[in-house]
Amino acid sequence: MLALRSVLRIDALDVEALRAATTSAADAILIDLAGATVVAARAEARSTARRYARLIAETGRPVLARVSSPRTGEMDADLDAMVDGSLPGVVLAGVEEPQDGRDADVQIRKHEMRRTGAPGAVTLIAEVDSAAGLLALPRVLPAIDRYSTILLDVDAFGADMGSRTQATESALAQIATIAAANSLQWIASVADGAAGVPHAHGAAGLVIRSEAEARGLNSLFAPEDALVERARRIVSGWARRGGASAFVVDGEVVDRRALRRATMLVELASAITRRETAGS
């Protein structure tokens, strides 16, 4: 699991921002190869993204690549440029069909086998930016086992729905429900000043455009120490349960669902610790 409290999104052609990202406080750097700014200069964007991804990764900052949807015909070339031993995750833009993830999985696996010999190291983040994507998500996620996170682009989803606030609020709740049902974390991309809404729905973090937002979001989305400690007691208690199907922690019955939630929280806390240690 990756810590994704703050994910700094940078256009692949923005060299100045990519240079600055080597000292970012964000949990992860997202290099965008699918944005409108790179359409007319894809070859340059891929070359630049690949070069800076390696430089940023050397500083201990996880680098993600946002790649084009398979329907654009550009996804394979984006993945060819970016998937190597230093890239822990890929954001698949505009997911709308189970086949989108399957196509990405095949291409990623090819590079993993050739470069590292260990398939499965690169996680996939499903970006939802439309009503069609949201409706398809329950079918999309079981199609492959590479998905680790859901990303809801709130602004793009709102535009697809005609900027209806009620619809986007409902989307946040649906994403939270789907993520929980699939034992995945989820993050959101929202306009400035709206961090509190995804946080209230249980998001793990936000995609941001400004370095100035990173430290504040890292604090906002950090899990409470008391909750992490309780989760650790659940995980360790389950390991010692002696065959019992359930046991009690702090007056509450712990079953497999509670264990799943606790395990995710412990893994997230560990990921945050690794990130803060590596980037210090």
Q: Which residue has the higher pLDDT, 33 or 194?
A: 33
Q: Quick one: tokens of 15? A: 């060299």
Q: Which residue has the higher pLDDT, 26 or 113?
A: 26
One domain for residues 116 and 244 = no
Per-residue pLDDT, 191: 72
Q: Quick check: is 100 in a domain?
A: yes
Q: Quick one: tokens of 71? A: 């329907």
pLDDT in tens, 129-144: 999 999 999 999 999 9
Q: Which residue has the higher pLDDT, 49 or 280?
A: 49
One domain for residues 216 and 230 = no
Q: Quick one: tokens of 207? A: 């995609």
Q: Does the pLDDT value for residue 153 go beyond 80? A: yes
Over range 215-234, report the average pLDDT. Answer: 90
Amino acid at 59: T
Over range 184-194, report the average pLDDT. Answer: 82
Per-residue pLDDT, 238: 75
Per-residue pLDDT, 166: 73
> What's the pTM?
0.89
pLDDT band with cut points at 50, 70 and 90 for residue 169: confident
One domain for residues 73 and 176 = yes
Over range 165-172, report the average pLDDT. Answer: 82
One domain for residues 271 and 237 = yes
Q: Is 241 helix (H, G, I), strand (E, B) or coil?
A: coil
Q: Which residue has the higher pLDDT, 197 or 4?
A: 4
Per-residue pLDDT, 247: 75
Q: Quick check: is 239 in a domain?
A: yes
One domain for residues 216 and 257 = no
Report the CATH number at residue 92.
3.20.20.60
The pairing of strands 89-92 and 63-67 is: parallel
CB neighbourhood size of 157 (10 A)? 24
Q: Does the pLDDT value for residue 86 go beyond 90? A: no
pLDDT in tens, 236-266: 877 777 656 667 777 777 777 888 888 889 9
Mean pLDDT, the chain, rounded, equals 89
DSSP bridge partners of 208: 8
One domain for residues 62 and 184 = yes
One domain for residues 103 and 239 = no
Percentage of the chain exceeding pLDDT 70? 94
One domain for residues 258 and 191 = no
Amino acid at 112: E
One domain for residues 232 and 103 = no
Domain count, the chain: 2
Amino acid at 89: G
Whether residue 126 contacts residue 138, with contact meaning beta carbons closer than 8 Å, is answered with no
pLDDT band with cut points at 50, 70 and 90 for residue 149: very high
One domain for residues 160 and 272 = no
Domain that holds residue 34: 6-220
Over range 258-279, report the average pLDDT. Answer: 85
One domain for residues 199 and 256 = no
Q: What is the spatial distance between Cα 32 and Cα 49, in angstroms, rounded to a whole number? A: 8
Q: Quick check: is 149 in a domain?
A: yes
One domain for residues 53 and 152 = yes
Over range 145-166, report the average pLDDT. Answer: 88
Whether residue 48 contacts residue 68, with contact meaning beta carbons closer than 8 Å, is answered with no
